[in-house]
Structure 1
């Protein structure tokens, strides 16, 4: 059995363009400020006064730092982890020092000792937030998450493999060329799903994987399987988690096409809207079809990986409408460029 490596993903700075990351920074820093005010207060009135005092000096610094981190996120991504941490620390300290003279308007003394005190608190706060994101990054890549990812990569169903091989065998005498192409598609499909895919890939590669899979299913389902592709021509370079669409297409075949005797259509629509990538997949819905556990497992797994890659900026919704089962996914539009 293949061993599962735990926590072998390299440390990396959080994505400062991510709404979830920004929200956690704001909440964490303000929570630390509240704890600091509480620790130095003896009564409610004193606590309220200290909170007001801290907020007056902290919030402008925090706002400017967040804006600078957002604007410089592309440059920070290119740095090694330690270099990135030092760059973030330098930004925090520089902003703290630059805004320090304005604290005199709030009753500060403006002395260098007070500046040193502010810089020390800024450095400690930055270290605490960096440690929080370090622990969170570790928590999102334990052995159980890797096991679920490997399970998803291995979810090319055994019955699909056997049925495809039988279909290829039936073609060898009648149409050797087509059988050869099918075997090449099958080999490429399994080569793709067996590699260690934990980084974002180009959507074009994921679409190629889906087409190879559907070509193989076409061998045994024939005219019963029809696919309606509606693709925005500008989305091929968009970055998506590996095996985002293939398990959904597989489930569409398994739950939407196989149970029906009549031909069925799987609709795949992908488009870019501003800075979002929208993916829509629909297949026939059979109300009396009971085997849905695999579908729920795939959806739960994809939700988890979307959260890992995009945090709160990704969404996955399902619904049943007009006799069709529909899945909608929205993620940030990003490319390698």
Structure 2
């Protein structure tokens, strides 16, 4: 059995391969340039003229900086934060000074560039670090919410009663259910800040549903469409399990008769799609509070890891509830 591991959080560079990160950097650089021109301008016309010259002069610099950061992202990902930050500052300084020297631009002189460039870069690194810290509590919150859900009295007692029955008639199956219990608690209490392979997340989801099938029996019917699933895709941990738990709790348990949960995972182009659909009573087709909490939490964690390149959406229907997740197809770095 695996042990629970917790590691202190360490700062990380933003992922410069993500469109959202590059967009934020570009906008910030343009903003500071515009602010400088606004301060030294004498009139609106003068500002417009200076801003136009600044944009034309700075566009090659910004593009070169962003291109370099894109290619530096992977080599720096496993380096200490202080070293990576220093490389980023030096790269931006080199690009700015070189371009201004080659173009003989008069918008900024070299002395200002030496001073302003590292200041802006340090500000950007600080901004991304604060943003990471602001979104990171969602990971801890997700683990605590899932743990609280796991120890809900009705789930815990019903499952243990099912295990007691199985001990008499099928000891091996009872042992398997208890192993699934242990694995669920291990993952919920472990360090969940890093991305995990999709295949591992799917295995955890199946272990959870195996426990639920022991409780619900034939009332819970499952449909798996994972033949086109990219198992090596890296995704945030604890994404599938909370959504499946909501599907069971708000859909199957509250419905009369047999309920169905369908899981469809596939990739198209450079994106991974996860679709979870469960049958639902007509009178309860609107999202429940539990659904909203899970969706909001997963949305924050997707933003933390993939910025604007990922999204999650919910679609309540007449007799079903469906959740769709889209994220970039990102493989584990070797």
TM-score of the pair, normalised by structure 2: 0.89
Q: 2:143·2:189 contact (CA, 8 Å) conserved in 1?
A: no
Displacement, 1:192? 1.8
Q: Deviations over 1:246-273 (max 9, x none)?
A: 0111111112222233222211010111
Displacement, 1:40? 1.2
How many residues are aligned here?
Answer: 324
Q: Deviations over 1:125-147 (max 9, x none)?
A: 222222222332333335x7634
Q: Show the counterpart of 2:90.
A: 90
Displacement, 1:162? 1.0
Gaps (5+ residues) in structure 1?
1-7
- Counterpart-to-counterpart distance in 2, 1:98 and 1:232: 51
Say whether 1:28 aligns with 2:24. no
- Identify the match of residue 192 of structure 2 among 190, 193, 197: 197
Q: Show the counterpart of 1:47.
A: 47
- Counterpart-to-counterpart distance in 1, 2:142 and 2:124: 29
- Counterpart-to-counterpart distance in 2, 1:148 and 1:248: 12
Task: Map 1:121-200 onto structure 2 (within 5 A).
Answer: 121-141=116-136, 146-147=140-141, 149-156=143-150, 157-200=152-195
- Counterpart-to-counterpart distance in 2, 1:64 and 1:232: 41
Q: Show the counterpart of 1:214.
A: 209
Q: Show the counterpart of 2:274.
A: 279
- Give secondary structure in 1 for the equivalent of 2:283: coil
TM-score of the pair, normalised by structure 1: 0.88
Say whether 1:235 aligns with 2:233. no
Q: Show the counterpart of 1:304.
A: 300
Q: Deviations over 1:63-116 (max 9, x none)?
A: 111112112321121221111112112221222233234423x6x49xxx9334
Gaps (5+ residues) in structure 2?
1-7
- Identify the match of residue 316 of structure 2 among 320, 326, 330: 320
- Counterpart-to-counterpart distance in 1, 2:317 and 2:134: 38
Q: Show the counterpart of 1:295.
A: 291
- Counterpart-to-counterpart distance in 1, 2:91 and 2:287: 54
Q: 1:27 to 1:85 in 2, by over 3 A?
A: same
Displacement, 1:216? 1.0
Q: Deviations over 1:139-170 (max 9, x none)?
A: 3335x763454223432233111110011111
RMSD: 2.3
- Give secondary structure in 2 for the equivalent of 1:72: helix
Say whether 1:335 aligns with 2:309. no
- Give secondary structure in 1 for the equivalent of 2:109: helix
Q: 1:69 to 1:208 in 2, by over 3 A?
A: same
